[in-house]
Amino acid sequence: MPSAPTVLGPAAEPTPEEPAVAPRPRGRLLAAAGLFWAGLMALHDRIPNGFGNLGSLFQTLLPWAGSAVPVLLGLAAVRRSRLAAVTALVPAVVWVVLFGGTLTDKSTGGGDLTVVSHNVDEGNPDPAKTARALAAVNADVLALEELPEDSADVYERALAGVYPHHAVRGGVGLWSRYPLRDVAEVPIMPWTRAVRATADTPRGPVALYVAHLASVRVHPAAGFTTGRRNDAARALAAALRAEPLPRIVLMGDFNGTSRDRALAPVFSALRSVQREAGDGFGFTWPAAFPVVRIDDIHVKGITPRSARTLPATGSDHLPVAASLRL
């Protein structure tokens, strides 16, 4: 028998293909983190100090902000993200803009006044060794901070053969090859932490200041505690503004860096010897592995010719030295 004819129903319409969805690029969060970090670095002076003085803390550690770049690049490699890798270069560019010039050697010759500043450490186990190391530098002017009451005479005896003139007030002191006059305490804190004197150099009088601003601490709850230091900085800035001599050398331990906006009242009218005549960052603390430059020398009416840190002396700070042209 013939087979029954096959009845075909209506032809099924072909299902339209869904449009292809482009895969999301990997590492978008890493890319956003890189851009955010670059923005923080570029706008470091806009970070508010309202809570915990975070702006000042970030500016104190600003040179180390570039260490985030290799971390971001490493994470980008793990994620195999070109986007994250390219974006990680943005904070690298910002860091170079901020600090590229710092890495070059800007020192020159021609100085006629050498100065050294050093926080000798109140708990220094061998002050005589430190004093001998400082005497061997053979600077024209020596400024010391954190002189202990029970061993200040150790420094006076050890330095007497090099410096015929000196003045010690509280925990700070000045030693000089040239006569010192008009020695006076600068009232920046309830106890003596700053001294001013006139040095009669062969090229005329120079106002010498040595200062040790109040210490700072970082607390998990309170943040970067800088209140007393900032008050002392404002008092020191007022004294500097009132200084009648046109040539000033300011030396000391400022417990903060020259980029910290809270110290701008002190440094804004002065020239940083490290920035203008140094080689590298010149970190000074802690001496075992320096990460910040809180010991510094600034000048007004004087040209910096070279700046450097000196080898460790037994203190927890490194000494700083500068050659100046009067």
Question: What is the tens place of the pLDDT at every residue in 215-238?
Answer: 999 887 788 999 999 999 999 999
Using only C-alpha atoms, the chain has a radius of gyration, in whole angstroms, of 29
Structural tokens at position 203 = 């090229």
From CA 15, how far away is CA 12, in angstroms rounded? 9
| Cβ neighbourhood burial of 232 (10 Å; 0-12, 13-18, 19+) | buried
Phi, psi angles (nearest 5°) of residue 54: -65, -30
Contact of 167 with 209, CB cutoff 8 Å = no
Structural tokens at position 258 = 């020259």
Q: The tokens 């956003």 sit on which residue?
A: 32
CA-CA-CA-CA torsion for 119, 120, 122, 123, nearest 10 degrees?
130
CA separation, residue 26 to residues 23, 61, 81, 148 (Å)? 9, 31, 5, 59
Q: Is the whole model's pTM more than 0.75, yes or no?
A: yes
Contact of 134 with 118, CB cutoff 8 Å = yes
pLDDT single digits (tens) 81-114: 999 999 999 999 999 999 999 999 999 989 999 9
From CA 163, how far away is CA 175, in angstroms rounded? 6
| pLDDT attached to residue 219 | 82
- Using DSSP's 3-state secondary structure scheme, residue 156 falls into helix
| pLDDT attached to residue 151 | 87
Question: Which positions of the chain have pLDDT values less than 50?
Answer: 1
| pLDDT attached to residue 14 | 58
Helices (H), the chain: 28-42, 54-60, 68-79, 82-99, 127-137, 152-159, 227-241, 264-267, 273-277
Q: Which amino acid is at 16?
A: P
Q: How many C-beta atoms surround the C-beta of residue 52 within 10 A? A: 18
Task: End-to-end CA distance of the chain: give it in Å, rounded.
Answer: 126
Q: What residues have CB less than 8 Å from 57, skipping those under 6 apart?
A: 218, 223, 224
